[in-house]
Structure 1
Amino acid sequence: MSSVRPVVFAQWLGRLPYGEALSVQQSRVNQLVAAKKSPSPSTPKVNHLLILEHPPVYTVGLRSHVYSESEETRLRALGADFYRTNRGGLITFHGPGQLVAYPILNLADFRPGDRSVGVRRFVELIELTMIKTVAEFGVVGTTSPHTGVWVGDDEASQRKIAAIGLKVRMGVTSHGLALNCNTDLAWFDPIVPCGIEGKSVTSLSAELGRDVPIRDVIEPFCRAFADVFHCDVQRPFSFQTC
């Protein structure tokens, strides 16, 4: 087993429209896939962690077939963009006050606990990363049969604080996670988030009764990611300017 920890380069992109973020993701994915295909073993395979927030946008995944053009028009009329994507999952909302992270990783580079990382374990590791992140603020996060991270003492009172929607192609990941920091939760009211009926959403600010901006969450998130994935997260940016 190699003792060298993989390196992940974190990049803060600020508030970026969803379509532009998709282009950045695809560029990073294409570079990583090309490096994996290269006959030269010296071709660098660079892993990225893109961290950002979006202007208001509703996105639907591959399993969403219920959102017609009229539904799209209804949601756009609220002042949000609308995108049909190639990620897993159903509908969700992204917007200001929500930490969004897109890990662009070559899964073969990662062996936390000396175990390989397939798609299912990758989801579990992302969930654990967010559980560790919210724990730094005194919030107890849990998993459930539904993907994502939840808070609440029992199933009846569970509230979703973080969502996951992923894609893996040739062992390279894209799309990612969204953690509600001080998000305006009213944006979730017009939809059934992730297609789960009867469940509400929450945020760090709502749980703690105080404002928790994204800039306060980025560093704990990067630490948790490095701990869970047994990697070194290099972040050449100032959190104070986020």
Structure 2
Amino acid sequence: MISTDDAPAVRASSPQLGQPQPPSRVESRSVGFAPDFVPYEHGLALQAEAAARLEGGSQLGTILLLEHLPVYTAGRRSDPDEYPSDGTPVVPVDRGGRVTWHGPGQLVAYPIVRLRPQVGVVDLVRALEETIIDVMAEFGLSGRRVEGRSGVWADAADGQLAKVAQIGLHAKAGVITHGLAINCSNDPAPFLNFVPCGIRDAGVTTLSEIAGRTITPAQVAEPLQSRLEATLEGVIA
């Protein structure tokens, strides 16, 4: 689920002595968790603001952590045949990938950063997958990659392979927007109403279903934030 407008920009030269020093680390912000769900349009606005700060040099990058109000979104490769079967509106966005759902019980993280010139978007996707797998391990859960498919996968309660986390990014001049979503305690029912990420031969699961106990986005946010900050330090300009 990747979209790129052009190649990463070359990093600007280091500031001269006496000039203000650039920020030293990515800043994380918890925007809203239950019951303070964040409208999707507000999430888009926050991403745009974070990208502007990044471009202006006032921040090295921002991680936004939140839960959205229920919404279906469609990336650039979406097929209308995959849209919700009941005619529920879908928000078109500029990320890669296809149709997905965000809503209560799902942890969303938007890492707004500039990649180093030698780091590709696919490299970031792989790094984010590994980060999610490591976070799952902190809860005693096993996640893995599936060759040829992005995101993180796990064995659902019925023993079938199912997707537990989605990744959809947009890159322009090396600046990343959009991000990842981890199904924590959300009701999986909305995923039955469309074709998630264009995948017809696998299901969707949640951390809570895998664990047999409730794991909320608020519980996952802190370890995800810590690991994301460390991951991004290794790839950002």
What TM-score comes out, normalization by structure 1 length?
Answer: 0.78
- Within the candidate set 95, 103, 109, 1:101 is matched to 109
Correspondences of 1:1-242 after superposition (within 5 Å): 6-14=24-32, 15-33=37-55, 35=56, 43-66=57-80, 74-76=86-88, 82-108=90-116, 116-144=118-146, 145-152=148-155, 157-230=160-233
Give the superposition deviation at 1:30.
2.7
Across the two proteins, how many residue pairs are aligned to each other?
205
In 1, the alpha carbon distance for the partners of 2:41 and 2:141 equals 32
Secondary structure of the residue aligned to 1:206 is: helix
What TM-score comes out, normalization by structure 2 length?
Answer: 0.80
Secondary structure of the residue aligned to 1:167 is: strand
In 1, the alpha carbon distance for the partners of 2:195 and 2:85 equals 16
Give the superposition deviation at 1:19.
0.9
Instruction: Report if the CA contact (8 A) 1:55-1:95 is conserved.
Output: yes
Q: Structure 1 or 2: larger helix share?
A: 1
In 2, the alpha carbon distance for the partners of 1:230 and 1:86 equals 25
In 1, the alpha carbon distance for the partners of 2:47 and 2:87 equals 25
CA RMSD of aligned residues (A): 2.2
Instruction: Report if the CA contact (8 A) 1:151-1:158 is conserved.
Output: yes
Q: Specify whether residues 66 and 50 from structure 1 end up closer, same or farther in structure 2 by C-alpha distance, changes over 3 A only.
A: same
Give the superposition deviation at 1:26.
1.3
Secondary structure of the residue aligned to 2:52 is: helix
Give CA-to-partner distance per residue, 1:95-118, whole Å, 9 cap, x none: 100000000001129xxxxxx421
In structure 2, the gaps of 5 or more residues are 1-22
Instruction: Report if the CA contact (8 A) 2:24-2:60 is conserved.
Output: no
Instruction: Report if the CA contact (8 A) 1:148-1:160 is conserved.
Output: yes
Q: Specify whether residues 73 and 152 from structure 1 end up closer, same or farther in structure 2 by C-alpha distance, changes over 3 A only.
A: closer
In 2, the alpha carbon distance for the partners of 1:227 and 1:31 equals 21
Q: Specify whether residues 230 and 28 from structure 1 end up closer, same or farther in structure 2 by C-alpha distance, changes over 3 A only.
A: closer
In structure 1, the gaps of 5 or more residues are 36-42, 110-115, 232-242
Instruction: Report if the CA contact (8 A) 1:58-1:75 is conserved.
Output: no
Percent identity of paired positions between Structure 1 and Structure 2: 39
